[in-house]
Amino acid sequence: MASFFDTSAKKDGAVFWSGNKQGAMDYAANNNRTMLEQTPGGQVFDGWNSLSKVLPDWDAGKNQAKPLWEALSKQYANGAEGSVKYVHPDGYIGNVFKTIEQPILLDKIGKGIVQFEEIVL
């Protein structure tokens, strides 16, 4: 399903985040970058109130939403090129980043496709 949605960020524009969505949004806005939730595809699902009617546990962050966001995150990471940033609170690395996005980015770093920088907020 994720493949039907545009989750692309421009080269040197991808921002990954964990634990501080507003901080990541501010960072992205102030640095001409894009978070997954700000892509056309991410916007469809982020804050989509109707999903809570179809998937009652959507807003509670339960398992119904997890596979979809994992697929979107994987697609976003696979599309990242150039300079990518990871915004997170000090000492916190999110599970989706650790298990889905980071392995993809590490592979891309090894191939010279991305350069990675952590931004601690």
Answer yes or no: pTM beyond 0.75: yes
Q: Which two tokens stand for residue 114?
A: 């991305």
Tell me the helix, strand and coil percentages in the chain, rounded to 5.
45, 15, 35
pLDDT digits (tens, 9 = 90+) for 89-119: 999 999 999 999 999 999 999 999 999 999 9
Q: Which helix (H) or strand (E) holds 94?
A: none
